[in-house]
Chains A and B, each alone.
Chain A
Amino acid sequence: MVDHRLLFEKAGRARFISHLDLMRTFQRAFFRAGIPIKHTEGFHPHAFISIALPLSLGYSSQCEILEFGLQAPLAGEEVVRRLNGALPEGVRVLDCYEGGRPIKQLAFLDYRVDLDYPEQSAAEQARQALEELLGRESLVVRKKTKKAKCGYTEVDVIPRIRSWSLEREGARLTLNTVLAAQNPGLNPELIVEALRAERPELAPELSWCHRREALDEAGQPFR
């Protein structure tokens, strides 16, 4: 029933729309756009859509993937045009296409993480510290969880990092990194958390995470 995909971006104010709310927003946007999409079967049919790999609240992305099914044939460009007139500020559909590879082949996510410091020297120190941390054999971080009794679990982030590089521009430090997407994936915030834990004095004032691309096992764009 899900034979179509959307590639969309989530930016600006829309970053604060949660995953569940975004699903509802899309269901309504399809209806507003006059694009009948397939419904679930059963007693309470509802428009069926699914978003691959939910984005954390507050992150931006230019490579989100949404699966849905069209009730009647409609050209991809037409879906994009109509939906973009029906979505809230910050959510923009980039492409609509048929088919697509199985989601389980989505192996990596390419992130940009910006860390802001009050001054250049702090950003430089943080760069050196992160270089040291990410160069280790193992880097264990406490991750908050509701399931564990103690309220956290311990995660080694290193095996889940495929590549990384650091650059500094003025008081801003940027981490470009490709991380495991699923089974298990790694949230880039955990790398920032590692920095906070190991070097509390180098905790950034602000941090922004942005998803740049979804990649397959070979590092090619996933669609």
Chain B
Amino acid sequence: MDRQLEQVLHNVQKPARYTGGEYNAVVKDRETVDFRFAFCFPDTYEIGMSNLGLRILYGVLNKMEGVWCERVFAPWGDMEDELRRTGLPLYGLESGDPIRDFDVVGFSLGYEMAYTGVLDMLDLAGLPVRAADRDEHHPLVIAGGSCAYNPEPLAAFVDVFSIGEGEEALPELVECCRKGKAEGWSRKELLRRLAQIPGMYVPSLYTVTYREDGTLASFTPEEGAPAVITKRIVGNMDQAYFPVDTIIPSTEIVHDRVMLELFRGCIRGCRFCQAGYVYRPVRSRSKELLARQGKDACRSSGYQEMTLSSLSTSDYPPLVELCDDLLDYCVPNHVSLSLPSLRADNFSMSLMQRLQTGRKSGLTFAPEAGTQRLRDAINKDVTEEDLLTSCRTAFTGGWSSVKLYFMLGLPTETDEDVLGIADLARKVYFTWRECAPDPKRGVRITVSTSCFVPKSHTPFQWEAQNTMEEYQRKVNLLRDALKRDKSITYNWHDPETSYLEAVLARGDRRLADVIEAAWRDGAKLDAWSEYFSFERWMKAFRRCGLDPSFYVHRVREKDELLPWDMITAGVRREFLWREREQCYRALITPNCRRQCTGCGANRLNGGVCDG
């Protein structure tokens, strides 16, 4: 280990985040590799190491002969100060080598508030933050992940965006870069060639013009770049790589357990949910393979906790059989099995009860809206009866803590819908009073509201967000309505973060100046309240002469050219618009298993969809 780094590590909190050397971390011989890949996660080690995507792509890249993929996370403030004070450049955790000498620096983008982290990490690496200031002597900077579905706010900083699932696309990108390295291509030549790989978006090969009102006028590809970039998917989940032998951190992380991925995509089609649209079509893993992977992963990792991951676990058809199979292994081996993302229905509750051994932790439900009308409008296919029946089962079974998640500011929301949240919470309370076996123990009902953020590639991509004042008014309304209910706790998200998230989620290329200005003024780790400053961002907007409300509070026209229209997740734009109209009629669209509604995503998989 570098002497200076060692000294630095004595001065920072939780130094194990910065050392590497964990069990199963891949260490290759520098002499036998010809391609170095820095997988960067613009948030802390604890968050990044909890990301299944990182573990999958790390495994996929390191399986490639001659390729060494290493991990890099955003340092916490104390470590960043030390790095800047000593001049140590950002390094790969496996080798300790500076990433500015790597071939590719790739970022995983899961959250808009991590954008300044991308700039900060590039800068700590000693690289120019803007793509235009880099050339073939610098690593190629790429990015992917769910935020890449609207890549435009980061277009000035990133050379190539990889859209969709990376298992197949990244190796293709690496091979192309390798060829370019061997043949001495210029950066421009490399970018031109990369743009020909399906799923790759090279922002510098597109020219954007604007109308006087600030909306987009045109979006023109150059040098043979495709007019539309279609996201990549893995066709068959049973053949897709799963990280059985994965890194076991030597320090505690957020999701410190085996994560089994049941399926990708979701049959539900909640209209606000970006993941529900961009991960289509539904593709499941077979239960036999999952059971084997789960057991092998426990043996290989030493984890004694396993969780099943997907967008909606109870929609996995052979869930009961899978759980039975896993429990045969888990129980004798002291491995606990947990099922997140369950729906509030009878089936899920009976399953929960079977799995629950020992302590009854809290239960969490996400009705999202307070009235049936609004739940129908957002296509959240859960009824009050479903929820109360689930609660009744839970309370009868001895649970005494329930969390209820809602969103404020959903399209078509009225005050009646906001107050409906209080009514629903009270009904949950009365349900407890009716059926609690031990009422003296009391009950804890927690209502949490977040502010709706309209996202690209959803039926609400044209919607306006509520103003921050309107959010605050609704929060106050609900807070007052719940004031006298001693058993109900109300928590709410602050609207400032959601406002900024909404700007970045549906912004265009002009936001680059704002992001850079905010970062130069000290913005980093914006997802952490310790570092986030709303005022700093507003100052950056003023300095750049851009009005953030333009991106947030304006209802966009049906035929408006949207900044992300060159990117398709396979779901047709007309389908999204139709879903939006269904919302205004408060009409449910049946889930994909009841009836295929022809969203178009199955075309990506030769017409196959497990929905």
The answer to whether B16 touches A206, judged by C-beta atoms less than 8 angstroms apart, is no
The answer to whether B16 touches A27, judged by C-beta atoms less than 8 angstroms apart, is no
Chain A 9-21 per-residue mask, 1 if CB under 8 angstroms from chain B, else 0: 0001110111001
Is A212 interfacial (CB 8 A cutoff)? no
Closest B residue to A91 using CB positions = B250
Cα–Cα, bound, A75→B352 (Å) = 42
Stretch at the interface among A37-45, A103-111, A128-136, A140-148: A37-45
Cβ distance A59 to chain B, nearest Cβ, rounded Å: 10
The answer to whether A32 touches B250, judged by C-beta atoms less than 8 angstroms apart, is no
Stretch at the interface among A81-89, A94-102, A170-178: A81-89
Is B214 interfacial (CB 8 A cutoff)? no
Number of A-B contacts (CB under 8 A): 82
Instruction: Give the contacting residue for A30; candidates B10, B18, B298, B302; CB below 8 A.
Output: B302
User: In chain B, residues 270-327, which have Cβ atoms closer than 8 Å to a Cβ of chain A?
Assistant: 298-304
User: In chain B, residues 409-423, which have Cβ atoms closer than 8 Å to a Cβ of chain A?
Assistant: none
Query: Contacts A21-B250, A43-B358, A45-B334 given: A14-B9 contact, CB under 8 Å?
Result: no
Is B251 interfacial (CB 8 A cutoff)? yes
Instruction: Give the contacting residue for A88; candidates B250, B301, B334; CB below 8 A.
Output: B250
The answer to whether B9 touches A16, judged by C-beta atoms less than 8 angstroms apart, is yes
User: In chain B, residues 17-60, which have Cβ atoms closer than 8 Å to a Cβ of chain A?
Assistant: 18-23, 25, 27
The answer to whether B358 touches A12, judged by C-beta atoms less than 8 angstroms apart, is no
Cα–Cα, bound, A47→B300 (Å) = 17
Is A90 interfacial (CB 8 A cutoff)? yes
Cα–Cα, bound, A34→B334 (Å) = 13
A32 CB contacts on chain B under 8 angstroms = 23, 299-302
The answer to whether B23 touches A44, judged by C-beta atoms less than 8 angstroms apart, is no
The answer to whether B19 touches A16, judged by C-beta atoms less than 8 angstroms apart, is yes
Chain B 332-373 per-residue mask, 1 if CB under 8 angstroms from chain A, else 0: 001000000000000000000000001100000000000000
Is A28 interfacial (CB 8 A cutoff)? yes
Chain B 243-269 per-residue mask, 1 if CB under 8 angstroms from chain A, else 0: 000001011100000000000000000
The answer to whether A28 touches B303, judged by C-beta atoms less than 8 angstroms apart, is yes
Instruction: Give the contacting residue for A28; candidates B18, B248, B334; CB below 8 A.
Output: B248
B304 CB contacts on chain A under 8 angstroms = 27-28, 31, 46-47
Is B15 interfacial (CB 8 A cutoff)? yes
Cα–Cα, bound, A30→B248 (Å) = 13
The answer to whether B359 touches A31, judged by C-beta atoms less than 8 angstroms apart, is no
The answer to whether B1 touches A28, judged by C-beta atoms less than 8 angstroms apart, is no
Cα–Cα, bound, A24→B252 (Å) = 9
Is A69 interfacial (CB 8 A cutoff)? no
The answer to whether B9 touches A58, judged by C-beta atoms less than 8 angstroms apart, is yes
* Chain A residues touching B, range: 20 to 34
Cβ distance B87 to chain A, nearest Cβ, rounded Å: 16
Is B239 interfacial (CB 8 A cutoff)? no
Is A187 interfacial (CB 8 A cutoff)? no
B250 CB contacts on chain A under 8 angstroms = 14, 17, 21-22, 25, 88
Is A2 interfacial (CB 8 A cutoff)? no
Cα–Cα, bound, A11→B505 (Å) = 45
A18 CB contacts on chain B under 8 angstroms = 14, 16, 251
A34 CB contacts on chain B under 8 angstroms = 299
The answer to whether A21 touches B251, judged by C-beta atoms less than 8 angstroms apart, is yes
Cβ distance A113 to chain B, nearest Cβ, rounded Å: 14
Cβ distance A36 to chain B, nearest Cβ, rounded Å: 9
Is B595 interfacial (CB 8 A cutoff)? no
Cα–Cα, bound, A87→B25 (Å) = 11
The answer to whether B251 touches A28, judged by C-beta atoms less than 8 angstroms apart, is no
Cα–Cα, bound, A56→B302 (Å) = 25
Cα–Cα, bound, A28→B304 (Å) = 8
The answer to whether B23 touches A86, judged by C-beta atoms less than 8 angstroms apart, is yes
Cα–Cα, bound, A14→B16 (Å) = 8
Is B7 interfacial (CB 8 A cutoff)? yes
Cβ distance A215 to chain B, nearest Cβ, rounded Å: 27
The answer to whether B302 touches A88, judged by C-beta atoms less than 8 angstroms apart, is no
A89 CB contacts on chain B under 8 angstroms = 21-22, 25, 27
Is A29 interfacial (CB 8 A cutoff)? yes
B6 CB contacts on chain A under 8 angstroms = 206
The answer to whether A16 touches B302, judged by C-beta atoms less than 8 angstroms apart, is no
Is B440 interfacial (CB 8 A cutoff)? no
The answer to whether B359 touches A27, judged by C-beta atoms less than 8 angstroms apart, is no
The answer to whether A17 touches B10, judged by C-beta atoms less than 8 angstroms apart, is no
Cα–Cα, bound, A88→B23 (Å) = 4
Cβ distance A91 to chain B, nearest Cβ, rounded Å: 9
Is B558 interfacial (CB 8 A cutoff)? no
Is A1 interfacial (CB 8 A cutoff)? no
Q: Kindly list 20 other residue pairs between chains A and B, CB separation below 8 angstroms, not including A16-B15, A89-B21.
A: A13-B19, A13-B21, A14-B21, A17-B251, A18-B14, A18-B251, A21-B252, A27-B304, A29-B23, A31-B299, A32-B299, A39-B334, A44-B358, A57-B15, A58-B9, A86-B23, A88-B248, A89-B22, A89-B27, A206-B3
Nearest 8 A/B pairs, CB to CB = A28-B302, A13-B21, A32-B302, A89-B21, A31-B302, A16-B15, A13-B19, A88-B23
Name A's B-contacting residues (CB within 8 A): 12-14, 16-18, 21-22, 24-25, 27-32, 34, 39, 43-47, 57-58, 86-90, 205-206
